[in-house]
Amino acid sequence: MIQIKTAAEIELMRAAGLVVGHTLELLKAAVEPGMTTQDLDDVAARSIRDAGAVPSFLGYHGFPGTICTSVNDEIVHGIPSPRKVLREGDIVSIDCGAIVEGYHGDAAVTVPVGRVTPELTELMRVCEGSMWAGFAAARLGGRLSDIGAAVERHVWPHGYGVVEEYVGHGIGTEMHQDPQVPNYGRPGRGPRLVQGLVLAVEPMVNLGGRHTRLLDDGWTVVTRDGRPSAHFEHTFTLTEAGPWVLTALDGGKSRLTHLLAAPAAG
Ligand code: MG
Ligand code: MG
């Protein structure tokens, strides 16, 4: 069932979103060669607790970390570990969730560790761009699949693989709610995009093929061909004025202003 939020509930989700947004800013600034993914988890745990919030992921179906840290060919759900050392040239996807007064925020970024190849920089740029294309395609009165169609259309010319087994989702009093938000498909289908709907959009884009594999730890999802993958996510809602990105510190303004001013791409 799709949960429609009141304005007051969305304010709480904004509060949760800002905790996530600030925490990811701290993490982005902290990433450097030689640190471990457990070090990142420690930074996140402190940031979320200091804000008076609760981590969404810790204990979720038994997940042992505060954040997910997925390095290189790991797509999502990597487990932070003191044995996993970040090296120059790696990319690390960091997924973070926090709860404020029962309401969740959920966002992810992929960050270069030191200097990375232009190929990886481009992969991250396109993955993040596809997420923003998804937001820009979302209109009140539009349809859910308009988002995934825009994500896929953004990635397609680059020839990367768009992961299909894992998708975005409704979010509110639980981290994962209806509806599922795939990162592919035809536009004009599925539920209407209405005020009060809050969604997490999270493209996972692979340098190689789209296929995935689950590691024996039961959590970590990797690319089947071993090539690197990027992941970006934000939680957003729709207002009369356009998309409001609840986990972006500026509400998404800086990225969306020019996207929404441009005429719709054919
Ligand atoms: Mg997430
Ligand atoms: Mg999510």
Residue 192 is encoded by which pair of tokens?
A: 């209407």
Q: Answer whether residue 266 is part of any domain.
A: no
* Ligand number, closest to the Cα atom of 170: 2
233 Cα: distance to centroid of ligand 2 (angstroms): 7
| Nearest in space to 98 (alpha carbons), one of 265, 256, 217, 247 | 247
Angle between helices 253-261 and 118-137 (to 10 degrees): 70
Q: Answer whether residue 44 is part of any domain.
A: yes
pLDDT, tens digit, 9 for 90 and up, residues 105-160: 999 999 999 999 999 999 999 999 999 999 999 999 999 999 999 999 999 999 99
108 Cα: distance to centroid of ligand 1 (angstroms): 6
Residue-wise DSSP of 88-131: TT-EEEEEEEEEETTEEEEEEEEEE-SS--HHHHHHHHHHHHHH
49 Cα: distance to centroid of ligand 1 (angstroms): 18
- Residue 206 pLDDT greater than 90, yes or no: yes
- Residue 191 pLDDT greater than 50, yes or no: yes
| pLDDT band, very low/low/confident/very high, at 266 (cuts 50, 70, 90) | very low
pLDDT, tens digit, 9 for 90 and up, residues 15-70: 999 999 999 999 999 999 999 999 999 999 999 999 999 999 999 999 999 999 99
Beginning with the edge strand found earlier in the chain, give each strand of the sheet holding 221-223 in spatial order. Answer: 74-76, 221-223, 212-214
Per-residue confidence (pLDDT) for residue 258, from 0 to 100: 85
pLDDT, tens digit, 9 for 90 and up, residues 174-186: 999 999 999 999 9
Phi first, then psi, for residue 183 (nearest 5°) are -100, 30
Q: Answer whether residue 128 is part of any domain.
A: yes
Question: How many domains, in total, are found in the chain?
Answer: 1
* Ligand number, closest to the Cα atom of 181: 2
> Where residue 16 sits, what CATH number does that domain have?
3.90.230.10
Per-residue confidence (pLDDT) for residue 261, from 0 to 100: 82
Percent of the chain scoring above 70 in pLDDT: 98
Average pLDDT of every residue of the chain: 97
Catalogue the E-assigned strands of the chain: 54-55, 67-71, 74-76, 91-100, 103-112, 161-162, 168-170, 177-181, 198-201, 204-206, 212-214, 221-223, 229-231, 234-239, 242-245
Q: Answer whether residue 2 is part of any domain.
A: no
Q: Measured between alpha carbons, how far is 266 from 262 in angstroms, rounded to an integer? A: 12
Domain residue limits at 75: 7-261
Q: Answer whether residue 1 is part of any domain.
A: no
168 Cα: distance to centroid of ligand 2 (angstroms): 6
pLDDT, tens digit, 9 for 90 and up, residues 248-264: 999 999 999 989 886 55
Residue 37 is encoded by which pair of tokens?
A: 């993914």
CB 170 within 8 A of CB 201: no
